Structure 1
Amino acid sequence: MERLREDLSSVLEELRTQELKRFVFRVESAEWRHQCAHIPKGLFEKAGNEIWEIVHLMIGYYGEKTKDVALDALEAIGRRDLVKSFEDYIKEYREEIKRKYEHIHKDTFLPEERVAFNSQYTNLTFIKKRQKLDEKEEELKARGDDLVSLMKKHRKYNITINEIFSIFENDDDKREPRTVVIQGPAGIGKTFTVHKIMLDWASGELFQDRFDFVFHLCCRELRISDHESLQELIIKCSPILEEALEEILLNPERILFIFDGLDELAFSEVTARDESAVKFLLTRKILPQASVLITTRPTALSVLKGKIDRYIEIVGFLEDGIMDYFLKSFKDQEKALTAFNVIKGNTVVLSMCFVPMVCWIICSMMKENEEDREDLLKNVTNASQILLHFINTLLEHHLSVSGNSDFLQNVCRLAYHGICEKKTMFKEDELSKFFITTTGSESTFFSKTLFKRHLHVKAMYHFLHLSIQELLAALYCASKASNEETEKLLNDSLSLEQGNLIHVVRFLFGLANETSQEIIEDLDIISLSIEKTTLQSWFSRAITQYKEKYSKTSDQASNHFLLQLLYCLFEMQDAEFATQAMKEIPWIDLSGCLLNRVDCTVIKYCIECSEHIQNLDVYRCNLDDVTVKILCEILPKCLSINYFGPINTPFVWAAACIFMIFDLLALILRPIWFPVEDGHHFLQFHFIFFEQDDSSAKSILITY
């Protein structure tokens, strides 16, 4: 009551003498409405204008109803403005939250530039389902279109933000959940989701019938906070609520506490004091009627054992979400679609774009050229660079351990050994062997999958995606690995049976790129030691083995191996290195490989770095207008081309063939003839067409 005494006294002090007399008169008439004990008139007369005496009388007779009586009296004399109602506090708090969350920094590096949050927000996919171990492992290993197809299956278990506290027909427990966990790895959009919840609630679009107050508690700040009591936690969220605390806590079922980033909470410190409000809220020892929403990485849930009513997993963007993100990131919608289509053709990059942070990195890199109208792909030629930027961002914003260098080296070593053993899932004791803990910020690079085995629940840990594991393995080979370890990986990668290793080698070539090395220098926690001569020696051995062993079979596996070798050169982006390497590749047989635009960009780059190619075989490669247009630019360097496709499709190079038939060959091709050993100019185009309505193939062979 002491707080009420102080508050009422401060209000009455604002009244003039006549207003105070009118107030006392109206208090007497309001008694009966609130069924309060009657204060004899003589006592009010004896108190006179002494405010403390008036307040003492009211509290003594009216008790907890003092505030209601005072509000009625103030309303009657026209001075209701002196006291905020509970609804006023709700309204003022909503307005404060709306102002705080309706804008966001558009670019981390340009904090002065703010944009409307909703103009940048892209819907994420949430699932109310625990994935099975084999489902998760299949998803981790999938790339490109295969991953897109697997991700689409999540639509069946999709749940929206406004349903996270709802009851579903298939729920075993028909009570509304009080403690809900939204889990997902670093960079997947957990904090953005909290931002969206806060803004939508404040804007009247979410949880209106359920919560009067939603409090956002950032665990990163709580970790170093001195605030202990529940009241102090609320005041920390909004000081304007200090005077309404008692009334707010009278209805705990109308309160939602959001703990954002439980994995960043130093729980050992929090639990050290038994009176910690954070501990009691999370373990539901205080305000059990209140609702709690927790966002966390999957590795930090052990502290909540038995207290969670519902698990929700953020799986990130589906393909339409990725496209929507690109559309919102670029000013020019045409360029946004072009950028999206470029990424869609890159299986490694597309496989990572379900993570919003990766999308942000890619769009930021592409937009560097947007104003100059340069090639959008210029800054995204190297998958290694994109993933290095991602790792850099994780270390900068999500990892807060001392000794980052040792930690990253341990993670890289684990990734390498996992790749060599064809493992993507790890037990906790396996991580311990590499001095990696699964609690706190060190869990940044890992996600956790729980599964049932017999009667027990087991936990397995994995990298965000196989591509991340492969890059980290490459970092290990390029820095701390022994010569024997690196040599073993390079040798094993030459076997088609060890096809998973070629992706690590691709990243090794990418790490040798100058821009990649600059990014690694910015990390300042790891140094590369692999030499280009080592890669050059391996490439020569790979080409020799391809010629002697694989090229004779000309099957899809061997042709795919050749494509991976071309990708190695593309990842390095060293024209001098590529020119020397391409001298060992007289022909390129990719028949039967389904080529996308990035594949064709890789082929184009490698042929541009060569003097000429005797034969380019893209027979049955499912080429379309865009991919053919890319390859058309390197026709002058191909002495022979084998292509299979419909003749009635307006392909550029098919049109060139038609033009040659009509005696325009000299005009078109005169500048692109090549001398051969006998001194004559020689040019051969070998096209094979089929008509869609005719099963018979038609062959055209033109030699000059």
Structure 2
Amino acid sequence: MADMEESIEDALLFALDDLREENFKRFKYKLGFLKWEGKAHIPQGKLEDANTMDTVQLLLEAYGMEGAREVAIHVLKEINLRDSATRLQTWKYNDCKKNYKRHLRETFWPILELGSNHGSTVGLPQRYTELLLVRNPQRPETAHELLGAEKKHRKMEVDQEGGCQKLGLEDLFDSAAEKKSSRTVILVGPAGVGKTTAMRKLMLDWASGQFWQAKFEYAFYLSCRALNVGSTKAMSLVDLMLSGCPPGTLLAEDILMNQDSLLLILDGFDELKHQDLPSGTQSASNPHEKQAAASLVTGLLRKKLLAPCHLIVTTRPVALGSLLPCLRSPQFVEVLGFQPAQREEYFHRFFQNKEEATRAFELVRINETLFRVCFLPVVCWVICSVLSGGLQKQPLKDIPEMATFTDVYLGLLDFLGCPSRLSDLKGLCGLAKDGVLRQTMVYNEEELKAHGLEPFSASRRLLPQDVHLPGICQFIHLGFQEFFAALSYLLDSDREAGTSSKDLKEVFGTKKAHSCNDRMLVRFLFGLSNTKRQSILQKTWGYPLTSRIRLCQEFLSWVEQEARCQAFRSGEPLLELCHCLYEMHDSQFAQSVMGHIYNIDLRDHLLTKLDLAALSFGLSASDSLRSLRLSSCKLGLKELEQLSPGLLKSSEIQLNRCGLTAVVCRELVSIVVNNLNLTHLNLGENPLDDSSIIHLCDRLIGPSGKLQSLR
């Protein structure tokens, strides 16, 4: 990046050499009487016989590098040599911009390795892997942010492109999509999907001249996390933008000169204290007026501050409710993390050694659950860090191929570490529970102390500090926060009997348990209630857990209540219930639960392999199933085998539009011919040939069968 940059001495010398002799004399004469910011003027005796080189040296000695430039511009204007003053000002402007870009490159180039608060770094360009960005003209749907994003990956796998408009970072303000009222782009994505890293890469690429050079004169990165830390301090927007620059790097008048070519990145809106956001009438409108941080943010979002500028806002889905009322005609772009090819690319970028990267990636690829969650860059980062400790040890070997989420997170905790003292573990769990309830992953020292934790005494890998903001830390990933939040409900403290049961009712209220944001927490509650896992946890960490009998009673009571309200009629809650049972993996308990489920309707659901494993477990435990409706679910031989427990019991089966081939259809017939309860079978709109239909009729329609309807 080094180039032959012109020094301030060269610029001053060029400006003075360009003057005619008469004008140079006028310049020295005026300079000899100038008093600048309380400093003594340069004596006329020193200036009288000075040539241009001498004069430059005198300027630098008297006023310093920055002052010499300002004095020269002032004197040139005073003697009406405005063209010369303008050329020197232009040089000053370009020099400031070069220095600012150099500062950005130094700031955004390094990234820390896992668990290294002040240790080794790696270059962002070396590690950065392209993310899947999808333009979405509508507000993104609200679901559990991790599960919802994973479902979208499944849809794209099935539909190939899925009708989505994919784009790169440089396309966020694509002229084809841009309208006069849409200079605000909202990047929405779950925690750990790479939003912040992408914005740091964008800043680095702009500062390195990779793109947007003609479009944006200046780009600024504003961290909402940093704004939270300094939220009590009033400042102007100009002060805020300049706060991250070395003194003298930029000038406010240069930044605000052309607001149309100004880019502001507001990263992590979800980390703001949304209850402090002012109304529209209280938003800041003057970039020089000192305001509270929240007022500056809403002023930018509502386009009352720097209205012509371009704005990128990143946020988790949980904050959309607070963000949307502040916006004017935004564009939405969803950040969906890594596609399968990019997951492999990331492993190769991490390890660099091709053979080592291939071996590491294969360990993950063959594990369905691990590979699925690797759409999140942060999970790839954690897993690669785990494996970099020694592939021979295979630290993930105990995670089964069709692992539950509880299996995955327990396996990764062996590497990330967990507090050894019970008091610290309880504090960590309480902190996680508090964060889930408040929908935040970021904590300060006071919040740690409130839960009995010494600041940053917890694992640096599990709860790392923010290297840019001393005193701030966050869970390495939302999943671990939800894991420890679930564990907090199971820790049996010295409280009065029944307290844990009362706490569980907080989770299993009708609205709470079906809240999209709490689905992973509920799954972990079931998973951690598994007999074998509870035994391992108590042996490993040496603490008592809530009575498993009490837990199962709470779970079953919740299912009975929900079943009476017909909450499981729709597909999503029903599938989520199957996942909870699969996490617990207790056949006897599953039978008690599935005894309340009579109909399974998952029409138009794109089922993942893990969905099918969970559904299969639920079907195996069901003795009261009446109907199984799976229309539009893509089914092959393996899927039929998993669904066979339900196919052998249901009186009504709907498998229309499931892509059943002739081979699959014959296998289906061999299963359902043994179902003596079957009365209705719908196989419409499948690619079946005449021989398959004849085979169906011959095997299923007869005097001894109960089948009443075959479509």
Q: 1:530 aligns with which of 533, 540, 546?
A: 546
- Once residues 433 and 550 of structure 2 are traced to their aligned partners in structure 1, the CA distance between those partners, rounded to angstroms, is 22
- Once residues 270 and 583 of structure 2 are traced to their aligned partners in structure 1, the CA distance between those partners, rounded to angstroms, is 35
Residue aligned with 1:194, SS: helix
Residue aligned with 1:378, SS: coil
- Once residues 514 and 369 of structure 1 are traced to their aligned partners in structure 2, the CA distance between those partners, rounded to angstroms, is 31
Q: 2:267 aligns with which of 260, 270, 280?
A: 260
Measure how far apart 1:277 and its partner are.
8.0
Structure 1 residues 289, 264: CA separation in 2 closer, same or farther (over 3 Å shift)? same
Instruction: Map 1:389-404 onto structure 2 (within 5 A).
Output: none
Q: What's the counterpart of residue 343 of structure 2?
A: 326
Q: 1:29 aligns with which of 17, 20, 25?
A: 20
Instruction: Map 1:200-599 onto structure 2 (within 5 A).
Output: 200-221=205-226, 223-224=229-230, 236-239=243-246, 242=248, 245=251, 248-249=254-255, 251-253=257-259, 254-261=261-268, 264=271, 276=290, 283=299, 288=306, 291=309, 293=311, 295=313, 297=315, 310=328, 312=330, 316-317=334-335, 322-323=339-340, 325-331=342-348, 332=358, 339=365, 342-343=368-369, 372=394, 378=400, 381-384=403-406, 409=433, 482=499, 507-513=524-530, 529-534=545-550, 567-568=579-580, 570-572=582-584, 578=587, 597-599=609-611
Q: What's the counterpart of residue 125 of structure 2?
A: 116
Residue aligned with 2:400, SS: helix
Q: 2:104 aligns with which of 97, 101, 111?
A: 97
- Once residues 502 and 234 of structure 1 are traced to their aligned partners in structure 2, the CA distance between those partners, rounded to angstroms, is 39
Residue aligned with 2:132, SS: coil
Residues 100 and 245 in structure 2, CA contact (< 8 A), matched pair in contact too: yes
Residues 523 and 583 in structure 2, CA contact (< 8 A), matched pair in contact too: yes
Q: What's the counterpart of residue 197 of structure 1?
A: 202
Task: Identify which range, 645-654 or 291-300, moves more after superposition.
Answer: 645-654
The higher radius of gyration belongs to: 1
Structure 1 residues 128, 190: CA separation in 2 closer, same or farther (over 3 Å shift)? farther
- Once residues 652 and 607 of structure 1 are traced to their aligned partners in structure 2, the CA distance between those partners, rounded to angstroms, is 20
Structure 1 residues 652, 387: CA separation in 2 closer, same or farther (over 3 Å shift)? farther
Letter in 2 for 1:220: R
Residues 413 and 473 in structure 1, CA contact (< 8 A), matched pair in contact too: no
- Once residues 583 and 379 of structure 1 are traced to their aligned partners in structure 2, the CA distance between those partners, rounded to angstroms, is 27
- Once residues 144 and 533 of structure 2 are traced to their aligned partners in structure 1, the CA distance between those partners, rounded to angstroms, is 29
**For each residue in 1:345-377, what CA deviation from the matched residue of structure 2 results, as whole angstroms up to 9, or x when unmatched?**
98xx79xx6x76577678888999987598796
Number of aligned residue pairs: 561
Residues 124 and 317 in structure 1, CA contact (< 8 A), matched pair in contact too: yes
Residues 215 and 234 in structure 1, CA contact (< 8 A), matched pair in contact too: yes
Letter in 1 for 2:368: V
Scaled by the length of structure 2, what TM-score is found?
0.50
Residue aligned with 1:293, SS: strand
Measure how far apart 1:571 and its partner are.
1.1
Q: What's the counterpart of residue 40 of structure 2?
A: none
Structure 1 residues 188, 323: CA separation in 2 closer, same or farther (over 3 Å shift)? same
Scaled by the length of structure 1, what TM-score is found?
0.50
Residue aligned with 2:220, SS: strand
Structure 1: stretches of 5+ with no match in the other structure? 1-6, 13-19, 397-402, 416-463, 551-555, 658-682
- Once residues 226 and 115 of structure 2 are traced to their aligned partners in structure 1, the CA distance between those partners, rounded to angstroms, is 19
Residues 223 and 267 in structure 2, CA contact (< 8 A), matched pair in contact too: yes
Structure 1 residues 537, 699: CA separation in 2 closer, same or farther (over 3 Å shift)? farther
**For each residue in 1:13-48, what CA deviation from the matched residue of structure 2 results, as whole angstroms up to 9, or x when unmatched?**
xxxxxxx9xx89835428779x99998999964567
Measure how far apart 1:245 and its partner are.
3.5
- Once residues 560 and 231 of structure 1 are traced to their aligned partners in structure 2, the CA distance between those partners, rounded to angstroms, is 48
2:74 is equivalent to residue 63 of structure 1: yes
Letter in 1 for 2:528: L
Residues 388 and 516 in structure 1, CA contact (< 8 A), matched pair in contact too: no
- Once residues 571 and 16 of structure 2 are traced to their aligned partners in structure 1, the CA distance between those partners, rounded to angstroms, is 97
Structure 1 residues 289, 207: CA separation in 2 closer, same or farther (over 3 Å shift)? farther
Q: What's the counterpart of residue 435 of structure 1?
A: none
Residue aligned with 1:116, SS: helix
Structure 1 residues 644, 124: CA separation in 2 closer, same or farther (over 3 Å shift)? closer
**For each residue in 1:634-683, what CA deviation from the matched residue of structure 2 results, as whole angstroms up to 9, or x when unmatched?**
99x99x9999999987789969x9xxxxxxxxxxxxxxxxxxxxxxxxx9
Measure how far apart 1:168 and its partner are.
6.2
Structure 1 residues 368, 124: CA separation in 2 closer, same or farther (over 3 Å shift)? farther
**For each residue in 1:366-398, what CA deviation from the matched residue of structure 2 results, as whole angstroms up to 9, or x when unmatched?**
99998759879638722356689999x9xx9xx
Measure how far apart 1:122 and its partner are.
0.4
Residues 220 and 265 in structure 2, CA contact (< 8 A), matched pair in contact too: yes
Task: Identify which range, 256-265 or 620-629, moves more after superposition.
Answer: 620-629
Structure 1 residues 229, 490: CA separation in 2 closer, same or farther (over 3 Å shift)? closer
